[in-house]
Chain A
Amino acid sequence: NAGVMQNPRHLVRRRGQEARLRCSPMKGHSHVYWYRQLPEEGLKFMVYLQKENIIDESGMPKERFSAEFPKEGPSILRIQQVVRGDSAAYFCASSSGDRAYGYTFGSGTRLTVV
């Protein structure tokens, strides 16, 4: 009964490096969402993807951030040239697309930029 799988759980990067965060949705779910949570703050929507398509990226920073959800394999959130302000918990969620059922979240990736 695998839920939403995120890896790595913890990621440390030096300023200027790239961070790649992975998310495998629940079995049967084809909709993936990425959220960011800064310390002591709420969840902020970043991007919504369906297989091979970006549906809504209104929460993505204009630069350095990108996301994909290929036909095969997990969804990837990529942050290039990380800065200290990127340090946060990044949560991935998936759904079947039915509005009635909400999302299921993964355990998150905690990114620390040093």
Chain B
Amino acid sequence: RKEVEQDPGPFNVPEGATVAFNCTYSNSASQSFFWYRQDCRKEPKLLMSVYSSGNEDGRFTAQLNRASQYISLLIRDSKLSDSATYLCVVNIRYGNKLVFGAGTILRVKS
């Protein structure tokens, strides 16, 4: 089983749609969770951290379910500029090493 698993997509959605991505992780001892965004041929950039209580940043909402070892990202009112690959990221062991999922491709179309 992969340490971090994501549906690769692509998710093709119209502008204004709401879209949700899911991610599962294998190590129940994981402590830190993030969503990163990667545009084509660019470096990954931190989108948001994921907290146990869930957190929101504008149109983006992240949720964590420790019991099911599951993380989600919800994007409301999708914009063309949201088109990118979204990476689920987890620290797998105690320490600082982060493991990246393979990413979910989002394409927002007009």
Residues of chain A whose beta carbon lies under 8 Å from any beta carbon of chain B: 31, 33, 35, 41-43, 45, 48, 55-56, 89, 91, 95, 97, 99-108
Give the dominant DSSP class at A's interface.
strand
Minimum distance in angstroms from A92 CB to a CB of chain B: 9
Q: Which residues of chain A are near B91, meaning CB under 8 Å?
A: 99
User: Do A42 and B31 touch across chains, with their CB atoms under 8 A apart?
Assistant: no
Tell me which of A31, A41, A95, A100 has the highest count of chain B C-beta atoms within 10 A of its own C-beta. Answer: A100
Q: Which of B34, B95, B96, B101 contacts A42 (CB 8 A)?
A: B101
- Bound: A100/B91 CA distance, A: 10
| Docked pose: A102 CA to B47 CA in angstroms | 10
Provide the bound-state CA to CA distance between A45 and B101, in Å. 11
**Neighbouring A residues of B41 by C-beta, 8 Å:** 89
**A31 vs B34: C-alpha distance when bound (angstroms):** 18
**B97-A41 in contact (CB<8A):** no
Query: What residues of B have a CB within 8 angstroms of the CB of A55 in the complex?
Result: 95-96
- With both beta carbons as reference points, the residue of chain A lying nearest to B4 in the complex is identified as A42
